[in-house]
């Protein structure tokens, strides 16, 4: 006895065939369209991710151009995915045949979908499967009404409202091109019916290709039942055939991302001018201001203020962090850190709790200790700064040796005061409590609690540690 779901519909095993072997000619790109970036993920990753909830017994991705790269992107989403290579691009029916062969002895329903439809709603896919099973059809087509159906295959209905055939735009008559109900390129087939019909498809069209849509006509001519399930929103069926459609899809996905974040407690002041990848997370009570770009594997804690005009790529942001008009890549900012405006933090930079990288500051592979400040107009590269230190305006770590092509480290201890316009010629260490005078060029290590000044800097005197209850005033704040 067949198992039925909560709606009383008979359940059957389902397999997926995703077609991703196209030439992408309209993209005019060296990169296959399924690998183009779409809100932080390749197009194919969005497609596979939205199909993941269907519980498919097997998933086959049909690849062609740049097959190895497409396979790698797919495996990142589904390590168990199977692949079938379409060596000659003879059309969608041939691609489906190649994919069907990779299913082996599978029995049940086969969902066939293009690899360039990243907006498909999982709920619509489940409804499509339910419609197919409830009617006992040999094939069920996903359709949608388009205000401008140009380029889409038209659904031609018979007098009883069934699907008579699907005609491609290039092969349609003038009367058929008036039809607005279009094929979304997504089908569910009974596996046995699909295999039988694929052997009968012929290239009887202007393009000389084998169309998967002809399978519908073959099954219809055999007297099989063909159904169509109308998608509630045509946008979700949109295929990406060129860069203009890629931008349209990105706008839809960005709106979904922003909606989900706002429902989770994040304030996004202007979603239309905020660009957030699908891979980004943010905690409640964080505020994201306009013209902010959040990319890659960026994670943001709670209570932060990000932007305006900030760009974060693959960053780890703690709680209560403030970032204004700054760019950061592969950077870690711990609780209470502040950045900007107009700062650039390059890979390997870490700001400990309460640390600051201020106006027109650039850092690379640098750790700034708890409560330490690099307030403005400085470059810190390959540096380690202890806690409670202050780096005066215009300070530079001279870390690159043009002769040996090596980069050396600068180590600044706790409670160090570096005067404005100091040049720290690495490798060099400023021990705890050291002070440099404005305009110093430091070429040797500075002992703890020592004041140095000059070009090159020379020790002037021992610095007396400030009383514990006094407030330190850093040079260059």
Residue 169 is assigned to a structural domain of this protein: yes
Report yes or no on 2 lying in a domain: no
281 and 389 together in one domain: yes
**Residues 254 and 39: beta-carbon distance below 8 Å:** yes
Q: Which range marks the domain in which residue 378 is found? A: 243-462
Choose the final residue of a domain: 211, 237, 263: 237
At 89 the pLDDT is: 81
Distance CA 399, CA 212 (A): 62
Residues 116 and 228 occupy one common structural domain: yes
Respond yes or no: is residue 46 known to be catalytic.
no
Write the CATH number for 226: 3.90.550.10
Query: For residues 376 and 339, what is the distance between their CA atoms, to the nearest angstrom?
Result: 10
CA distance 30 to 33: 9
Number of domains observed in the structure of the chain: 2
So what's the pLDDT on residue 477?
A: 45
Q: Is the domain of 152 the same as that of 169?
A: yes
Task: Kindly state whether residues 345 and 229 are assigned to the same domain.
Answer: no
pTM over 0.85: yes
Residues 247 and 102 in one domain: no
Q: Among the options 36, 376, 444, 449, which is catalytic?
A: 376
3-state secondary structure of 94: helix
In this structure, are 177 and 259 located in the same domain? no
Residue 354: inside a domain:
yes
Q: Are residues 170 and 272 in the same domain?
A: no
Provide, for the chain, the percentages of residues in helix, strand and coil under a 3-state DSSP scheme, each rounded to the nearest 5. 20, 30, 45
pLDDT tens-digit profile, the chain (477 residues): 345 555 556 678 999 999 999 877 888 899 999 999 999 999 999 999 999 999 999 999 999 989 999 999 999 999 999 999 998 888 899 999 999 999 999 999 999 999 999 999 999 999 999 999 999 999 999 999 998 888 888 998 888 777 888 888 888 899 999 999 999 999 999 999 999 999 998 865 556 678 888 898 899 889 999 999 999 999 999 889 899 999 999 999 999 999 999 999 999 999 999 999 999 999 999 999 999 999 999 999 999 999 999 999 999 999 999 999 999 999 999 999 999 999 999 999 999 999 999 999 999 999 999 999 999 999 999 999 999 999 999 999 999 887 778 899 999 999 999 999 999 999 999 999 999 999 999 999 999 999 999 988 887 767 666 666 555 444 444
Phi, psi values for residue 63, rounded to 5°: -115, 160
Q: What separation in angstroms does the CA of 374 have from each of 318, 336, 340, 369?
A: 19, 15, 10, 11
In a domain, 7, yes or no: no
pLDDT at 301: 98
pLDDT the model gives residue 214: 87
**Residue 227 shares a structural domain with residue 254:** no
Bridge partner residues of 141 (DSSP): 187, 228
* 142 backbone dihedrals φ, ψ, rounded to 5°: -85, 125
**Within 13 Å and on the Cβ side, how many CA atoms surround 8?**
1
Q: Are residues 315 and 434 in the same domain?
A: yes
Within-domain flag for 467? no
On whether residue 186 sits in a domain, the answer given is: yes
From residue 371, how far is each of 129, 310, 327, 334 by CA, in Å? Answer: 58, 22, 21, 11
- CB 343 within 8 Å of CB 351: no
Identify whether residues 431 and 300 lie together within a single domain.
Answer: yes
Angle of CA points 240, 77, 64, to nearest 5°: 55
**Of the residues 210, 237, 264, which one is the last residue of a structural domain?**
237
The set of residues, in sequence order, having a beta carbon less than 8 Å from that of 365 and lying 6+ positions away, is 346, 347, 348, 349, 381, 382, 383
| Residues 85 and 42 sit within 8 Å (Cβ to Cβ) | no
At CB < 8 A and 24+ separation, what contacts does 26-35 make? Answer: 26/241, 26/242, 27/241, 27/242, 27/243, 31/66, 32/65, 32/66, 32/69, 32/70, 33/116, 33/240, 33/241, 33/246, 34/70, 34/73, 34/115, 34/116, 35/66, 35/69, 35/70, 35/73
Q: How far apart are CA 210 and CA 423, in angstroms?
A: 70
- Residue 426's CATH number: 2.160.10.10
What value, to the nearest 5°, has the Cα angle with vertex 408 and ends 407 and 413?
145
Alpha helix locations (H) across 366-421? none
Which alpha helices (DSSP H) does 239-375 contain, by range? 243-263
Residue 405 is assigned to a structural domain of this protein:
yes
Domain boundary among 169, 204, 237: 237
Residue partners of 18: CB distance under 8 A and separation at least 6? 44, 47, 48, 51, 59, 60, 61, 62, 99, 113, 114, 115
Q: How remote is the C-alpha of 96 from its chain's centroid?
A: 28
């Amino acid at each position: 006895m067949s198992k039925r779901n909560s709606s009383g519909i008979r359940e059957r095993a389902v397999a997926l065939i995703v077609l991703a072997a196209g030439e992408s000619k309209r993209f005019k790109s060296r990169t296959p369209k399924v690998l183009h970036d779409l809100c932080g993920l390749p197009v194919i990753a969005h497609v596979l991710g939205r199909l993941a909830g269907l519980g498919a017994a097997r998933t086959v991705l049909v690849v062609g151009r740049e097959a190895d790269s497409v396979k790698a992107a797919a495996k990142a989403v589904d390590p168990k995915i199977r692949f079938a290579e379409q060596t000659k691009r003879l059309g969608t029916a041939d691609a489906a045949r190649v994919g069907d062969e990779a299913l082996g002895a599978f029995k049940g329903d086969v969902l066939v979908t293009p690899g360039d439809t990243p907006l498909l709603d999982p709920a619509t896919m489940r409804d499509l499967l339910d419609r197919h099973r409830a009617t006992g059809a040999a094939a069920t087509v996903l359709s949608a009404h388009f205000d401008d159906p140009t380029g889409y295959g038209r659904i031609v209905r018979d007098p009883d409202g069934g699907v008579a055939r699907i005609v491609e735009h290039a092969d349609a008559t003038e009367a058929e091109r008036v039809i607005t109900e279009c094929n979304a390129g997504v089908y569910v087939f009974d596996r046995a019916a699909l295999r039988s019909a694929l052997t009968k498809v012929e290239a009887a069209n202007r393009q000389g290709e084998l169309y998967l849509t002809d399978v519908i006509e073959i099954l219809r001519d055999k007297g099989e039942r063909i159904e169509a399930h109308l998608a509630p929103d045509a946008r979700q069926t949109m295929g990406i055939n060129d860069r203009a459609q890629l931008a349209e899809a990105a706008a839809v996905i960005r709106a979904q991302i922003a909606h989900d974040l706002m429902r989770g407690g994040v304030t996004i002041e202007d979603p239309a001018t905020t660009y957030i990848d699908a891979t980004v997370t943010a905690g409640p009570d964080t505020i994201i201001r306009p013209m902010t770009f959040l990319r890659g594997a960026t994670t943001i804690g709670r209570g932060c203020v990000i932007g305006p005009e900030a760009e974060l790529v693959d960053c780890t942001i703690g709680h209560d962090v403030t970032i204004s008009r700054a760019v950061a890549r592969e950077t870690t900012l711990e609780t209470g850190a502040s950045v900007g405006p107009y700062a650039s933090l390059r890979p390997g930079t870490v700001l400990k709790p309460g640390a600051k990288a201020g106006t027109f500051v650039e850092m690379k592979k640098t750790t700034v200790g708890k409560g330490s400040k690099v307030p403005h107009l400085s470059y810190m590269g390959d540096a380690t700064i202890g806690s409670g230190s202050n780096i005066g305006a215009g300070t530079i770590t001279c870390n690159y040796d043009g002769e040996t092509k090596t980069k050396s480290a600068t180590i600044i201890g706790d409670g160090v005061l570096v005067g404005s316009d100091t040049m720290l010629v690495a490798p060099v260490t400023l021990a705890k409590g050291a002070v440099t005078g404005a305009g110093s060029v430091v070429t040797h290590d500075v002992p703890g609690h020592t004041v140095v000044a000059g070009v090159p800097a020379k020790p002037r005197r021992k610095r007396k540690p400030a009383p514990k209850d006094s407030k330190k005033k850093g040079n260059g704040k």
